[in-house]
Amino acid sequence: MKVKTLTRELVTLATDLGLEAVPEYRTGDGTRIDVAVLKDGEKLLAIELENSYKWIRQRIVYNIVKASRAGFPELWIVYPFQAPSLGWIEEYAEELDVSISILKPEELKRALACF
């Protein structure tokens, strides 16, 4: 998965859809979200691009916390490997009012177009 290429494609597609995609979105507490999707300043979607299988469950939890603290209701994690079973992590995301989806890189553009 080529993160920079995918990020550029997301920004272009979001613009074409009347949305704003902000790469390396800086949150109020100093963390960063790989790509934030906004509409008229409203936070719609946080997208995290994960390119490593190491510690993926822990990284997913951290991404959920970042999205929640930044005020994003939805989080997409783009992951090129087989998605892990999440178990309690999905329940934790629900407790934080964050809807979570794990997508393959090739699914991302179609998902955003249907968003």
The rounded distance, in Å, linking the Cα atoms of 115 and 113 is 6
pLDDT digits (tens, 9 = 90+) for 41-94: 999 999 999 998 889 999 999 999 999 999 999 999 999 999 888 999 999 999
- Global pTM reads 0.94
DSSP state of 85: P
User: CATH topology for 3-113?
Assistant: Trna Endonuclease; Chain: A, domain 1 (3.40.1350)
CA–CA distance from 54 to each of 32, 48, 79 (Å)?
20, 15, 12
